[in-house]
């Protein structure tokens, strides 16, 4: 990595995957929504040389964590810690 490359997309991709897993496994809706936010930031700041498949799979994992968390508990997010 050269000193001129921005590490933000890589960090957001990793953070998005961590939030996705928290949303899927621990059923935290706020983490699932945060993973979508991180996936968008990672996609928006991606370099042209980045692997498009990895970005797409990260975004798909984020969307699936939101869908699964609402399928298991369809109540709206009233409190952040539910």
Compute how many other C-beta atoms are within 10 angstroms of the C-beta atom of residue 36. 19
pLDDT for 48 beyond 60: yes
pLDDT for 72 beyond 60: yes
- Reported as a pLDDT band with limits 50, 70 and 90, residue 79 is low
Percent of all residues in the chain with a pLDDT value above 70, rounded to a whole number: 93
CA–chain centroid gap for 69, Å, is 14
Q: What is the pLDDT of residues 14-44, one digit of tens each?
A: 999 999 999 999 989 999 999 999 999 999 9
pLDDT on residue 82: 52
**The model's pTM:** 0.85
């Amino acid at each position: 990595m050269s000193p001129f490359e921005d590490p933000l997309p890589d960090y957001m991709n990793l953070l998005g995957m961590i939030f996705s897993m928290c949303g899927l496994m621990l059923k935290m809706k706020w983490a699932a929504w945060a993973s979508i936010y991180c996936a968008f930031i990672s996609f928006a700041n991606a370099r042209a040389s980045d692997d498009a498949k990895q970005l797409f799979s990260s975004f798909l994992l984020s969307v699936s964590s939101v869908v699964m968390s609402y399928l298991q508990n369809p109540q709206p997010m009233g409190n952040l810690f539910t």
